[in-house]
Amino acid sequence: MEKWDIYDIDRIKTGKTIERGAAFPEGAYHIVVHICLFNEDGDMLIQQRQPFKEGWSNMWDVTVGGSATSGDTSQQAAARELFEELGYEFDFSNIRPHLTINFGEGFDDFYLIESEVDLEKLQLQAEEVQRVKWASKEEILEMQERGEFIPYYKSLIELVFAMRQRFGAHSRE
């Protein structure tokens, strides 16, 4: 059974763990990572979830996402998820998430990576991913309107495209 480290509201590890699927006690949080890979044209690599995958089956999603397992840092979880789901190795050791969004049971860390990826060389995890492709912001927003893409906030999709080559909350232009 998969275990997750529990963090407090200040994102400090409590030394406790929780099994995936268990109810979270009050004040317990865990880390979820999302990796958005972009190519030099500014398109995002997106994946289509398997039809038998629980939660948003058959829908398109950002490049990769998943929970940090017990003992993982956010960066280790990002590297593991990217390799497990797509067979793509990337060193996250000196990278911070571009943004973190709080949700009911945890922290969503978003990593925005620019890397040229040959789709033919990826090894898709059969249990999770049925296919991948490059998509522009406009294509993703259209897919959302048709109900084909996980219903992230439209503004979040726009934000990750706007922030893909920079950190911070404002442009320096």
pLDDT in tens, the chain (173 residues): 899 999 999 999 999 999 999 999 999 999 999 999 999 999 999 999 999 988 899 999 999 999 999 999 999 999 999 999 999 999 999 999 999 999 999 999 999 999 999 999 999 999 999 999 999 999 999 999 999 999 999 999 999 999 987 777 776 65
pLDDT confidence of residue 172: 64
What sign for the dihedral angle of Cα 95, 98, 102, 103? negative
Two structure tokens written together for 69: 């397992």
pLDDT confidence of residue 1: 84
Domain boundaries, the chain: 31-163
Give the span between the Cα atoms of 132 and 152, in whole angstroms: 18
Residue 168: name the closest of 99, 94, 114 by CA. 99
Residue 132 DSSP symbol? E
Class of domain 31-163: alpha beta
